[in-house]
Amino acid sequence: MSPQFSDYALVVAAVLFALGLFGVLARRNVVYVLISVEVMLNAAGLAFISAGSKLGQPDGQVMFIFILTLAAAEASVGLALVIQFYRAYKTLDTDSARELKD
């Protein structure tokens, strides 16, 4: 059985997820971390849709709508956190927030 479109879409989703994860881990600027998290969320959404298409079921699309809602909520909370973070530290570098350690 030759690979179908949905299989390629799953691979793209995996690559996107890995890129997002790399961004979360490697970036120090908290705004970029937030953007990378959005990339990961969308990678997860793509994976659901392509899986739904592959299995011929609508559940994947339903899940994507949930993820979209979640992403919106996450963005609003995340951006609020970023503003508070900046007010507290006068920087956007995540590594400067290490007070629990000391």
Partner 1 sequence: MYAIVWLIPALPLAGFLLLVFLGRRMPRAVAAVVGVGSVGLAALATVLVGASFLSAPPAGGAIEERLFGWVSLPSLSFAFGFRVDALTLTMMAVITIVGFLIHLYSSEFMSRDGEFWLFFAYMNLFVSSMLVLVMADNLALLYLGWEGVGLCSYFLIGFWYREPEYCVAARKAFIVTRIGDVSMLLGLALLVSSFATLDIQELLRRAAAGWAPGSALPVVATLLLLGGAVGKSAQLPLQVWLPDAMAGPTPVSALIHAATMVTAGVYLIARLSALYALAPAVQSLVAIVGLATLLLAGLAAIAQVDLKRILAYSTISQIGYMFLGLGVGFYSAAMFHFMVHAFFKALLFLAAGVVIMAQGEEHNIFRMGGLRTALPAVFWTFLIGASSLAALPLVTAGFYSKEWILWGAWQAGRGGPLLWLLGGCLGVLLTSLYSFRAVFVTFFGDQKIRESHLPGARMKIPLVILAALSILGGFIQIPSDIAPVSLFESFIGGVFPKAPGAAEGGSTQILLQVVASALSLIGVLAAYVLYRRGVGAHERLADSDAYRGVRRFLFSGLGFDWVYKWAFVKTFDCAAKLLKGEVVGRAADAIGSANAAIGRALGALQSGRIRWYLVGIALGAVAAVGAAVWL
Angle at 28 between CA 26 and CA 31, to 5 degrees: 110
Q: If binding is defined by CB under 8 A, does position 87 make contact with partner 1?
A: no
CB 16 within 8 A of CB 44: no
24 binds partner 1 (CB under 8 A): yes
Q: Which structure tokens are listed for 58? A: 């609508």
| Residue 101 interacts with partner 1 (CB under 8 A): yes or no | yes
- The Cα–Cα gap between 18 and 7 comes to 17
Strand, coil or helix: 56: coil
Which region, judged by CB under 8 A, interacts with partner 1, from 4-12, 18-26, 50-58, 76-84?
Answer: 18-26
21 binds partner 1 (CB under 8 A): yes
Residue 97 near partner 1 by CB under 8 A? yes
Binding-site member from 1, 25, 56, 83 for partner 1 (CB under 8 A): 25
